[in-house]
Amino acid sequence: MIIRQESLTAKMSLKDLAATSPLPSANLVLVFGSVKRFSEAKLQSTLKARYPAAQIIGCSTSGEITATGVYDDSLQITAILWEKAVQRVTHTKMTGMQNSFETAVTLAKQLKSDSLKAVLVYSDGLNVNGSELLEGFKSELGETPIMGGMAGDGFNFNKTVQLFNDTSSDGLVIAVGLYGNSLIAATGVGRGWKPYGPPRKVTKSDKNVVLELDGKPALPLYNMYIGAHSAKELPGSGLKFPFAVIEEGKRDIEKIRTLLAIDPKTNSLTFAGNVDEGETVRLCQSTHDRLVEGAGDAAHLVSSHANVNQTGLAICVSCVGRKGVMADLVADEVKLVQQILGNQTAITGFYSYGEFAPRPDTNDSVLHNQTMTIGYLSEDLLA
């Protein structure tokens, strides 16, 4: 596995790229940048000229992640040349959020193989139900680990853009199948959120819309726990008070759900992923230090499942909500990941509207919110 990276800051243009490509033979190129960056007229042609043999994919972000920190309105390009592993890249345009499951099934059937080891998925961030998308992939691919996330648009939640070779558009779902015994794939998930208040049973919901908790209207109950000041600033303040879905019969967090919208007419809460009837939830809160520690947990999970003392790539997908809490100190979580994984691990990634990764120490891929996820890739050339 050979990795080369290029980077443009917000003040730099495509003309500021080096005269020659650092890896013209690359077969996969990952590109992360802002919606503004993905709207540049010559982006696709410039990338294709620099990487003529590659499948070029990427998405817009709520902040770009690099080994040197976190940036806005930058362009981060990671070129990969597989030495033995094989890839298959596919994509489709969504016809509607309600077709998220079926869309994933169609893509998964194109990737399915006994030699499939991992799948990278990057999707629209606003027109896709991430929970349904993951369920669709799993229905065909079983416990093949799925890594990636949903595109971002800063804190605007207006439009996200996905890149597939010559196509730059919203509404896309892009999937990369990675095959062969030489491929090393490991994942890590870390949170740093602390539940508070009593557990509540979801007694009425419709996919990602929660209507009742313990038989009571959801919104007034939520407002009571976050306090009058934060309630006045909803839904924006909801980034700081996500739901923790608690594992059945345990106290452990299974996944986090970010609040996206409220509806005072129906007293409902809309989240960035499904919250099923019968699930147990608690409210969460966090601090900068806890979130950084959570990112470290993700990196330690990766290092416990893969030999990171060789060339590798960590694709970090973290949540826009974490960026909102940590503000100017958000780079601290990325610095800790780099410190744990070492300088031989290249880092790329983005802040997202939803993260795809298996739950810790499982191959059960789910949609996460408010989570630092790491998809680690490397090759064993002796396999």
The predicted structure's pLDDT at residue 91: 96
Say which DSSP state 206 is in. E
The predicted structure's pLDDT at residue 363: 87
Which amino acid, residue 357? Answer: A
The predicted structure's pLDDT at residue 288: 92
- Rounded to a whole number of angstroms, the CA Rg of the chain reads 20
- Does residue 100 share a domain with residue 64? yes
Q: How many domains does the chain have?
A: 2
Return the residue matching tokens 């190129």: 29
The predicted structure's pLDDT at residue 239: 82
Three-state secondary-structure class, residue 320: helix
- Does residue 221 share a domain with residue 178? no
Query: Range of 241's domain?
Result: 194-284
Which residues in the chain come in under a pLDDT of 70? 249-251, 383
How many residues belong to the chain? 383
Q: How far apart are CA 365 and CA 17, in angstroms?
A: 37
The predicted structure's pLDDT at residue 249: 65
The predicted structure's pLDDT at residue 96: 77
- Does residue 173 share a domain with residue 86? yes
Return the residue matching tokens 């990952």: 30
- Does residue 321 share a domain with residue 369? yes
Alpha carbon 151 to its chain centroid, in Å, reads 8
Indicate yes or no: pTM above 0.75.
Answer: yes
Question: 268, 284, 300 — which closes off a domain?
Answer: 284
Which amino acid, residue 37? Answer: R
Region for 258 from its dihedrals, namely left if φ exceeds 0, alpha if ψ lies in -120 to 50, beta otherwise: beta
- Does residue 165 share a domain with residue 47? yes
Alpha carbon 320 to its chain centroid, in Å, reads 10
Question: 284, 311, 326 — which closes off a domain?
Answer: 284
- Does residue 159 share a domain with residue 16? yes
Nearest CA among 194, 227, 187 for reference residue 359: 187
Q: How far apart are CA 82 and CA 97, in angstroms?
A: 34
The predicted structure's pLDDT at residue 317: 98
Question: 244, 259, 284 — which closes off a domain?
Answer: 284
